[in-house]
Amino acid sequence: MSGHTLQDKVVVVTGASGGVGRAVVRELGHQGAKVALIARGMAGLGAAAVDVGAAGGIGQVYEADVADYGEVRRAAEQIEAELGPIDVWINVAFSSVFARFTDIEPAEFERTTAVTYLGYVWGTRVALDLMKPRGRGAIVQAGSALAYRGIPLQSAYCGAKHAVKGFTESVRTELMAERSGIHVTMVQLPAVNTPQFDWVLSKLRRHPQPVPPIYQPEVAARGIVHAAAHPERKEYWVGSMTVATLLAQRVAPALVDRYLGRTGVDSQQTGEKAPSGVANLWEPADETTDYGAHGSFDSKSHGRSPQLWLSRHRTAVTALAGAAAGAVLLRRVLR
């Protein structure tokens, strides 16, 4: 991918203040993009805008709750008035609850769904309303391996990611039927070392953790920004466990259920400390404190993903690598 593919393009990123979204806006800054940063936490947003400028781009802050269609619409109109027509819209924002399903209050489940699913729906709707008269544009959905495979303690998040996948496929086929010049793509992400494990509402006794292998947010960002520059593909995969999850789920879903039933609860909790007590479900965690892109698992995280390279280049090796990763997971299940 050319280092200047998105130079001078107007790119919107939701969830831009921290985690994967924060890494995405930095990567866009390196490409010289005009980046519109949407989130709720002003400390995180302000620091993210500085990151974009330091990297060589233009960063502009727009405070909005993605669960509110009106706020998203007003932010988009302001973006077009100040930065110009939107070329790319990237949906990253989410929230969640780490808990067993029966421990999640209805209002908490509803709020998670509104942010993590409807936030993508409203962002996509607003982007299409603005892009369709021009007949061009790209929408990128930051997805997850959990769009294909639900796991314990994350019922609200998994349900939302499954919904985003189905919604995106429906919209994509409608655009294809219209022979539209607008493209919609998804980037399915693995476990990523972001602040989500420090600021997502948790009802667990122990601190939540991502399930290895864990990747740094910059790996996810490279995949998302590549997809923004090359949105014709339906889907990109980042991380070995993402590939293994997709294949294992297709080959032996019942075995995966049993494996996750045995290991899924303990593997998502550390043995070292209690949850942080911070929760961003109702209010932003980074209103006065900047959390940045990285979480607390730097020492356990990978900075590169061969699967991303394979997914981008779409060679026969992709199938071989995916089959090998699937075989590894199946061996774990059958043990």
CA distances from 230 to 41, 124, 137, 145 (A): 30, 18, 11, 21
Q: Sketch the domain layout of the chain as residue ranges.
A: 10-334
Give the tens place of pLDDT for each residue, 159-181: 999 999 999 999 999 999 999 99
| Rounded Cα distance, 123 and 62, in Å | 14
What does CATH list as the number for 10-334?
3.40.50.720
User: What token pair was written down for 90?
Assistant: 């990237």
Q: Determine contact, residues 193/295, Cβ cutoff 8 Å.
A: yes
Which of the four pLDDT bands, split at 50, 70 and 90, describes residue 250? confident
| Rounded Cα distance, 50 and 22, in Å | 11
Give the tens place of pLDDT for each residue, 191-224: 999 999 999 999 999 999 998 899 999 999 999 9
Q: Is 254 exposed, middle or buried (0-12, 13-18, 19+ CB in 10 A)?
A: exposed
What is the C-alpha radius of gyration for the chain, rounded to an integer number of angstroms? 19
Q: Determine contact, residues 24/36, Cβ cutoff 8 Å.
A: no
Q: Which residues pair with 14 in a beta bridge?
A: 38
Compute the residue count for the chain.
335
Give the tens place of pLDDT for each residue, 117-155: 999 999 999 999 999 999 999 999 999 999 999 999 999
145 DSSP 8-state letter:
G
Specify the pTM. 0.90
